[in-house]
């Protein structure tokens, strides 16, 4: 039977040999990586970690995008209501004053811009997404899906 100090020494020698073998394997992996990647300082692990991080952040970015698009739609709707109401009030005042109705170019231009925007965004596609702003039609869905792809 071997003594405890001899067994301990043998165990430590085995650990040192295993450590040296692991270092040799790591060195060989580094050399192989350098050969395959041509010396480019690309770390596949860091790329993979970054992709995983982006995958985790994508739903939050999508939600924030939806919130911005919903706010945009609310602003466009409010501007349209305000402009239409002001136009109606001006026409009514012109009628009371006995003046001929004025040019409604501002209202036409705004309506044309909204129609053009709807046409362009509608051409992007009508996929599905979580964006369901009231009165937004397919504008918000198409914008989000064009950026993030279909969920």
Instruction: Quick: pLDDT tens for 16-58.
Output: 999 999 999 999 988 887 777 766 666 777 788 889 999 999 9
Q: Among 1-5, 47-51, 71-75, 102-106, where is mean pLDDT lowest? A: 1-5
In a domain, 47, yes or no: no
For residue 72, being part of any structural domain is answered with yes
Cβ density class 115-151: b for 16+ within 10 Å, e for less: eeeeeebeebeeeebebebeebebbbbbbbbeeeeee
Residue 69 CB coordination number (10 Å): 21
Question: Number of folded domains in the chain?
Answer: 1
pLDDT band (50, 70, 90) for residue 4: confident
Average of pLDDT values for 91-108?
A: 84
Give the domain extent around 113: 63-148
pLDDT at 27: 92
Chain centre distance of CA 65: 7
pLDDT at res. 125: 45
Is residue 66 classed exposed, middle or buried when 0-12, 13-18 and 19+ CB atoms within 10 A define those classes?
buried
pLDDT score of 25: 94
Q: Is the pLDDT assigned to residue 141 strictly greater than 80?
A: no
Tell me the two tokens of residue 52: 């995983």
Confirm whether 4 is domain-assigned: no
Comparing CA positions, the residue from 97, 112, 110 lying closest to residue 89 is 97
């Amino acid at each position: 039977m071997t003594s405890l100090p001899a067994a301990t020494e043998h165990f430590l020698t085995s650990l040192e040999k295993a450590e040296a073998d692991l270092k040799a394997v790591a060195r060989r992996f580094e050399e192989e990586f350098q050969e395959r990647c041509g010396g480019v300082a690309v770390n596949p692990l860091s790329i993979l970690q970054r992709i995983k991080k982006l995958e985790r952040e994508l739903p939050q970015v999508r939600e924030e995008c939806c919130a911005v698009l919903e706010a945009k739609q609310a602003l466009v709707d409010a501007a349209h209501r305000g402009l239409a109401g002001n136009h109606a009030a001006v026409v009514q005042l012109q009628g009371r004053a006995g003046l001929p109705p004025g040019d409604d170019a501002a209202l036409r231009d705004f309506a044309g811009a909204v129609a053009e925007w709807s046409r362009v965004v509608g051409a992007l596609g009508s996929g599905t997404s979580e964006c369901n702003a009231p009165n937004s039609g397919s504008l918000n869905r198409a914008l989000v899906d064009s950026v993030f792809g279909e969920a």
